[in-house]
Amino acid sequence: MTDSTSATAHTDTANRAVDALAGLVARGGVLALTGAGISTDSGIPDYRGPDGQRRVTPMQHGEFVTSSSSRQRYWARSYAGWSRFTAAEPNAGHQALAALERHGLVTDIITQNVDGLHQRAGSSRVVELHGSLAEVVCLDCGQRYPREQIQAAIRQANPHFADDIIGLARDGSRVSSQIRPDGDVVLDDALIAHFVTPTCRACGLDRLKPDVVFFGGSVPRERVDQCFHLTDAAHALVVIGSSLQVMSGLRFVRRAARGGIPIAAVTRGTLRDRHLIDVQVDDGITETLRLVADNVAAGGRPSR
């Protein structure tokens, strides 16, 4: 098979997959399950490559809750990355899902992301499975804070920290220019050692945690049950930007499969439990969602 023939065959296969996805969405009652891949075009990288292998090591729940030094490392990195994280804007993929909701085709979104981009794009029925980085909670007394309030407290306690980061970046030390999926950046250990960890104003302890589920943590039972209810009520489940490597999202795919609910996936590369997926679009997420939204919402068919 020549290169041109192979490319044509790939395009034909991709077109058929997009057509099948469009037909599924056009029938309505769609529950979207989104992962980190939908936000990569907004400048927030995902955890895994196309091969499904993890590219970064995220903070683990156990180390955060048991180690003051781990909390210091997390908050230093997260504080440094927050301005870049919040500067990310919804991309055309987020906007396409919001448009499909307005047209009554997508009923709900379950997102594994903690970036809030779905809501900023205009989606109103979003369950944040892993929580949101915009909220902070004290693990001891339960006091809650908006993230910006904690950012301000960190800034006051570490008045020279931002300048130190700039200096280290200039002399070639380890200061990453790219945020990670959970909003932090890589910093030099020497810089972290002098960082003052934020404390709870109510109880005074350094046990503040972003209100998100770290790796190794558990999603609250009532939130899982809510998502199971949404899955059972859906006419179709569309997985977007997730390789389904962790049970957190995979359980809803398995639930849908047991209920005979059609399942589609828009994601590049390896998919866990691929045999449960009826349609996979192994192509660009943003472009695929834009095509489906532009054409299906108008009553047409996607064209490339």
CATH value at residue 240:
3.40.50.1220
Give the mean pLDDT of 197-215.
96
Last residue within a domain, chosen from 187, 212, 237: 212
CB 47 within 8 A of CB 54: yes
The pair of three-digit structure tokens given for residue 83, joined into one six-digit string: 């301005």
Does residue 3 form part of some domain?
no
The pair of three-digit structure tokens given for residue 60, joined into one six-digit string: 């683990």
Handedness of CA 28, 34, 40, 44 (dihedral sign): positive
Known binding residues for Zn(2+) are 138, 141, 200, 203
Residue 21 has what pLDDT? Answer: 95
Last residue within a domain, chosen from 212, 229, 245: 212
Determine how β-strand 144-146 pairs with β-strand 131-138: antiparallel
Report DSSP state, residue 58: P
Task: Give yes or no: residues 70 and 118 share one domain.
Answer: no
pLDDT in tens, 84-116: 888 899 999 999 999 999 999 999 999 999 999
Does residue 269 form part of some domain?
yes
Q: What number of residues does the chain have? A: 304
pLDDT at 131 over 90: yes
Task: Give yes or no: residues 68 and 148 share one domain.
Answer: yes
Does residue 254 form part of some domain?
yes
- Name the H helices within the chain: 3-26, 61-66, 68-87, 92-102, 117-121, 147-157, 161-170, 189-192, 221-233, 247-258, 285-296
pLDDT in tens, 213-234: 998 899 999 999 999 999 999 9
pLDDT in tens, 40-76: 999 888 765 554 455 556 789 999 999 999 999 999 9
Does residue 8 form part of some domain?
no
Kindly report the pTM of this predicted structure: 0.87
Q: Return all residues near 31 (Cβ < 8 A) that are at least 6 apart.
A: 106, 107, 108, 109, 110, 230, 231, 233, 234, 236, 237, 238
Task: Give yes or no: residues 164 and 77 share one domain.
Answer: yes
| Active-site residue list | 130
Known binding residues are 138, 141, 200, 203
Does residue 94 form part of some domain?
yes
Does residue 51 form part of some domain?
no
Q: Return all residues near 101 (Cβ < 8 A) that are at least 6 apart.
A: 107, 109, 122, 123, 124, 125
Q: How many domains does the chain divide into?
A: 2
Is 43 exposed, middle or buried (CB count within 10 Å of its CB: 0-12, 13-18, 19+)?
A: middle
Give CA–CA dist 243/261, Å, rounded. Answer: 19
Largest distance between two CA atoms of the chain: 69
Give the mean pLDDT of 178-197.
78
Task: Give yes or no: residues 75 and 203 share one domain.
Answer: yes
Give the other-Cβ count within 10 Å of 57's Cβ. 9
Q: Return all residues near 7 (Cβ < 8 A) that are at least 6 apart.
A: none
Domain of residue 106, residue span: 17-44+90-130+219-299
Q: 60 - beta bridge partners? A: 215
Q: Mean pLDDT over all residues of the chain? A: 87
Task: Give yes or no: residues 162 and 94 share one domain.
Answer: no
Work out the pLDDT band at 173, boundaries 50, 70, 90: very low
Tally: H helices and E strands in the chain: 11, 9
Report DSSP state, residue 276: G
